[in-house]
Amino acid sequence: MNLKIVGYVLGHLLIFMGLLDISCIPFSLYFHDNSLQALIFSFMITIVCGGLLIFTCKCDDEIGIKEGFGIVTFGWVAAAAFGGLPYMFCNMQFSFTEAFFETMSGLTTTGATVLTNIEVEQPAILFYRSLTHWIGGLGIIVLSLAILPTLGVGGMQLFRAEVPGPTHDKLTPRVADTAKILWKVYIILTFIQIFLLMLGGLGFYDSICHTFATLATGGFSTKNASILHFNSAYVDYVLLFFMFLAGVNFTIHYKLIFNRDFSALKDPEFLFFLTITVLSILFILANVYFSGIYDSLSKALQYVSFTVVSIVTTTGFATADYEAWPVFSQFILLILMFIGGSAGSTGGGMKCIRIMLILQVIRAEFHRLVHPRAFIEIKINNKIIPKEVVRAVISFFCLYICLFVFFTGVICLLRVDLITSIATVAATLGNIGPGLNLIGPTDNYAHLPFLAKWICSFCMLLGRLELVTVLILFSPEIWKK
Amino acid sequence: MTERLNIVIIGAGLVGSALAKFFFEENHHVTVIDRNPQMLESIKDSLDVLTIKGNGASPGVLRDAALDKASLLLAVTDFDEINMLACMVAQSLGVKYKIARIRDKGYYSGNDNKLFEEKLGIDKIINPENAVVKEIIQILKFPGATEVASFADERILEAGFHVNNPEFNDKTIAEIGKNILPRDVVLAAIHRKGKTIIPRGNNHLEKDDLVYLVAKPRSMKKIAYKISGLKEGSHRYIIYGGSRVGIELAMELEKLDAQVTLIEPDEDVCKNLANFLNDTLIIQGEGTDMELLKDEGITQAQAFISTTDSDELNIVASLLARHLGVKNNISLIRRNDYLDLLPAIGITTVSTHTATAGTIIKYARRSQVQTIFKNKEGQSEVFEVIVPENCNLIGKTLMEIDFPSNAIITTIVNNEGVTIAKGDTQIYANDRLIIFTLPEAIPEIEDILNQTKDSEGFTKRIFPLFFNKK
């Protein structure tokens, strides 16, 4: 791997991260909180390190496949490391581990937190926390691609390594233009949601923070009780709607908004995603309602639909303590954590398209038993999926399960109980946030052992970059000259 | 005499020569252009037409063929691009009607018809595979039918069946008409041992007679099962051969919600098939592999259709399927020599070039003669004609007309609907008559229809080529 070009691109990324720090300063000034110094310090450190990297590694080599993986993975690690500075400067209880965890959780849009009392933190820092979600949602590398045209060379390598999904359709001939289109959609949705939340009586600050966390399918709130704090059906349903939108492939939004192409709604992955969501809501609603937890059906519907959408889109906002629900409902939620949103959305998990493909593969195998000489191709939406893609998806599925089992084992080794271990790995690998038992919707990750936090951070990175981009760096071949 | 037209045909392949033969026999001036001198030679041997060797899309060659004086261009080479280009040249030379054979659907699927009409000047696109698939689908709709033709916007059908039901044996036509056939079905002709007769009440039916019936689609379906002795079975169809016809047929059958199994030996072809077919079961194997056919449930199949590129393979596969108990066997055949042979052994034949030529002729004929159809066996023909306003027949009943004995008016179509002709049916102006006839009777029919109140002959109306383009 050509480390020089990796360092060069990373330098640009750090400058960009530094800009994030100062963009929180207006809030700091407005609220007169004590974060101004911390923000300026972090900005300066980040900028200087970035500048040094650019200065020392300056070159005009091309970004190859290997460099693409390196840039994306190291870029995310560096962003999480330097992005944690404001937390450390501002809250003296935060060790580097916790700061790194919190930033990684923000950037990967997981929404798992180690803060035990959110409301005492400085408003500007909480805004910064939501901002990491928003920036991480569509990918920090893709964003720098869209902003810094000098990095356009080899852009597809980076795009492929960072944007989730088994296949990558470029909307435009140039990858930088595609990135710009995705961001345009993202920004439009952001403005609409902020407006709608303010209409519901939220202040501008709360609206913007929650909007960032919704559209990135993150899950950070500015309140201890998460969304339950507002106790408003209107807010719940607005958030639910936008969480769902964020879990849908952004190219569908693009076609709807800019091309008025309503046939995009017939996209099979969208329909699959919708079906899974609706079915889960119905099952859990029946289960919860008949066990008599909520006295009115409308209340039950409000809490159940919000929770299901929050989990399936891998957002992780909470309104209800689903641990009080029957076990079967919790089981469905756990399964949803693995499925996740659509490819090309900001959601995490394995992605619906992969689950659809795996189901098709299973169906085809049964078909082959009855007709041994049948010629069967795996198809989605009447289009043949190339064999390589099918193979990649199957191996992704297996790898996901293997990693899940492996890391659950490791966390168990750290004497965390079984349910918590399972939920921790499922919730971080799938970028969801809240899990079950000790890390349930009313708890947080603060009490986990030091090592477990690092494993969680690593799982979040793995899940966000879809395993292979990160794991490939452990292969010696990447490092050969 | 018919008005003579100059017709230029580009491409002397199977379709081209079939068209040349047809138009030559109708007394038109035919010029055939092809690159291959051998093909031209074989046409010259059998027909008195002008042949020109050269590229049919080159303006020079087309000018040599006096295309500017022609009124109809038929571009039917195997190459879509040459056919389109030829039509474009013809457009600039002012030829009135241009018909192009285009196989690749990618050229005209969607809404590009305007482009074809205005820019390329193509009046009608003929897709050979499409034409033959349409024919196969018609036959499949009426089990046991050897061929099916439609008239009056598909409100009336003519179909041939082999009698395979003891109920019909050795009965006179009068008895059958009274007791077995529904009232709205006309038994128009019997073909037995190479001879076709228009039956009278005292003729007998025998086993394995080929009878031609004329009826409305619904009645035809009912009678089809009765006369051919077939039972309404599964909706499983087995196709052998992933040729263009095979693919298109499978696609059409998919639309009809049929269960389709397509057998194709070549892996790359299978891959291509999988691209187009979504509900069809594609089996990689030989259609002549008896075990494979049994495994895929051929015994319960409603029909077996062989559409490979080899006539011989198609015939063998169809024979095998027949041996395994499939009643409805259809083979795609290219060589004319085989066309007459196969129906005798219980295999229905379809061929791309006759279907294409048939479609082109149908189009070329639309005016007063709406449709003309030549039956495959025997020489009988069916045609549809509109009674002119000043015809002598108007006001008479069918009984009063002295119609030749080897022709029959089967159906009358007018604003009130479709009437199956009986002795007391009256004829009005602008009625459409659907007439079943042997060729000998045609001059006599022309005479009868020609007895008009003014001088204008009917012949001129019966065979005008595009007098009015709508």
What's the complex ipTM?
0.71
Helices A450-464 and A418-429, axial angle in degrees (round to 10): 40
Query: Do residue A376 and residue B275 have CB atoms under 8 angstroms apart?
Result: no
Could you say which of A371, A377, A382 has the minimum Cβ distance to residue B283?
Answer: A371
Enumerate the residues of chain A whose CB falls inside 8 A of the CB of residue B271: 375, 377
pLDDT at residue A396 tops 80: yes
pLDDT at B44: 87
Structure confidence by residue, pLDDT tens digits, B316-372: 999 999 898 888 889 998 887 787 777 777 788 888 888 887 777 767 654 444 456
CA distance A323 to A136: 29
Spatial neighbors of A210 by CB under 8 A, at least 6 apart, are A130, A197, A202, A221, A222, A227, A239
Chain A partners of B267 at a C-beta cutoff of 8 Å? 375
What phi and psi, each to the nearest 5 degrees, are found at residue B442? -60, -45
Are the beta carbons of B274 and A371 separated by less than 8 Å? no
Query: Chains A and B: how many Cβ contacts under 8 Å?
Result: 33
Could you tell me the end-to-end alpha-carbon distance of chain A, in angstroms, rounded to an integer? Answer: 6
The neighbour count for residue B307, using CB atoms within 10 Å, is 30
Overall residue count recorded for chain B in this entry: 470
| Secondary structure of residue B127 in the 3-state scheme | coil
Contact B292 A373 (CB under 8 A): yes
Closest approach of A386 to chain B, Cα-based (Å): 11
Question: In which element (H, E) is residue A258 found?
Answer: helix A250-259
Give CA–CA dist B411/B413, Å, rounded.
Answer: 7
Whole-angstrom distance, CA of residue A283 vs CA of residue A323? 16
User: What distance in Å separates residue A469's CA from the closest CA in chain B?
Assistant: 31
pLDDT recorded at residue A167: 63
**Is B153 touching A (CB cutoff 8 A)?**
no
pLDDT of residue B381: 79
Quote the DSSP letter at residue B287. Answer: T
More confidently predicted of A320 and B181 = A320
pLDDT at residue A361 in the model: 93
Each residue's pLDDT tens digit, A350-374: 999 999 999 999 999 998 898 888 8
What residues does B150 pair with on adjacent strands? B157
Count of alpha carbons within 13 angstroms of residue A26, beta-carbon side: 4
The answer to whether residue B250 neighbours chain A at the CB level (below 8 Å) is no
B274–A375 C-beta distance less than 8 A: yes
CA angle A426, A432, A436 (to 5 degrees): 55
Whether residue B281 and residue A373 make contact (CB cut-off 8 A), yes or no, is no
How high is the pLDDT of residue A259? 84
* B296:A371 CB<8 A: yes
DSSP A237-252: HHHHHHHHHHTS-HHH
For residue A60, what pLDDT is reported? 76
CB atoms within 10 A of CB A342: 27
Query: DSSP letter string over B197-255?
Result: E---TT-B--TT-EEEEEE-HHHHHHHHHHHHT-----SEEEEE--SHHHHHHHHHHHH
CA-only gyration radius of chain A, Å: 22
Q: Which of A373, A382, A384 sits opposite B283 (nearest CB)?
A: A373
Q: What is the pLDDT of residues A76-99, one digit of tens each?
A: 999 999 999 999 988 767 889 999
- Least CB-CB distance to A373: which of B271, B275, B285? B285
Q: What is the pLDDT of residues A232-242, one digit of tens each?
A: 999 999 999 99
* Cβ contacts of B84 within 8 Å, gap of 6 or more: B75, B100, B102, B107, B120, B122
pLDDT at res. B463: 40
Nearest CA in chain B to A372: B283
Start-to-end CA span in chain B (Å): 25
Q: How far apart are CA A90 and CA A302, in angstroms?
A: 37
Instruction: Tell me whether residues A376 and B274 touch, CB distance under 8 A.
Output: yes
Cβ neighbours of A375 in B, within 8 Å:
264, 267, 270-271, 273-274, 282-284
Measure the CA angle with vertex B68, ends B63 and B72; round to 5°.
110
Measure the CA–CA gap between B432 and B450, rounded to whole angstroms.
Answer: 15
Residue of A nearest to B295 (CA): A371
| pLDDT tens-place string over residues A12-51 | 889 889 988 999 999 999 988 888 889 999 999 999 999 9
Average pLDDT, chain A: 88
Residues A135, A107: Cα–Cα separation, whole Å: 7
User: In which region does residue A314 sit, left (phi positive, over 0), alpha (psi from -120 to 50) or beta (all else)?
Assistant: left
Cα–Cα distance, B438 to B210 (Å, whole number): 15
Which residues in chain A have Cβ-Cβ distances shorter than 8 Å to B296? Answer: 371
The pTM assigned to this predicted structure is 0.80
Per-residue confidence in pLDDT tens, chain B, 470 aa? 346 778 899 999 888 888 888 888 777 889 999 998 898 888 888 888 889 998 888 888 888 888 878 888 899 998 989 998 998 888 888 888 888 888 887 777 666 666 777 777 888 888 888 888 988 888 888 877 778 887 777 788 888 888 877 777 777 877 877 777 777 788 888 888 778 888 877 788 887 788 888 888 888 877 887 777 766 666 789 999 988 899 999 998 988 888 899 999 999 999 888 888 888 899 998 888 888 888 888 888 888 999 998 999 999 999 999 898 888 889 998 887 787 777 777 788 888 888 887 777 767 654 444 456 777 666 777 877 777 777 777 888 877 887 888 888 888 888 777 888 777 788 888 788 888 888 777 777 777 776 665 444 444 444 433 333 33
Decide if A235 contacts A301 (C-beta within 8 A): no
Closest CA–CA distance from residue A180 to any residue of chain B (Å): 32
Nearest to B274 among A371, A373, A377 (CB): A377
Q: Does B284 touch chain A (CB under 8 A)?
A: yes
Lowest mean pLDDT among A208-212, A273-277, A316-320: A316-320
Q: In this predicted structure, what is the pLDDT of residue B123? A: 81
Answer whether B270 sits within 8 Å of A379, measured CB to CB: no
A185, exposed or middle or buried, with CB in 10 Å at 0-12, 13-18, 19+?
A: buried
Does the beta-carbon distance from B284 to A373 stay under 8 Å? yes
All residues of chain B having their beta carbon less than 8 Å from the beta carbon of residue A372 are 295
Q: In Å, what is the CA distance from B92 to each residue of A43, B60, B62, B86, B89?
A: 73, 13, 11, 10, 5
Q: Quote the DSSP letter at residue B10.
A: E
**Most B CBs within 10 Å, among A368, A375, A385, to test the B interface:** A375
Helix (H) or strand (E) holding B385: strand B381-386
Which residues of chain B does A373 touch, with a Cβ-Cβ cutoff of 8 Å? Answer: 283-285, 292, 295
Please tell me which residue of chain A has the smallest CA distance to B296.
A371
**Residue (of A409, A402, A401) closest to A452 by Cα position:** A409
B239 touches chain A (CB under 8 A): no
Question: To the nearest whole angstrom, how far is the Cα of A367 from the nearest Cα of chain B?
Answer: 10
What was the pLDDT predicted at B397? 82
User: Per the CB < 8 Å rule, is B274 touching A374?
Assistant: no
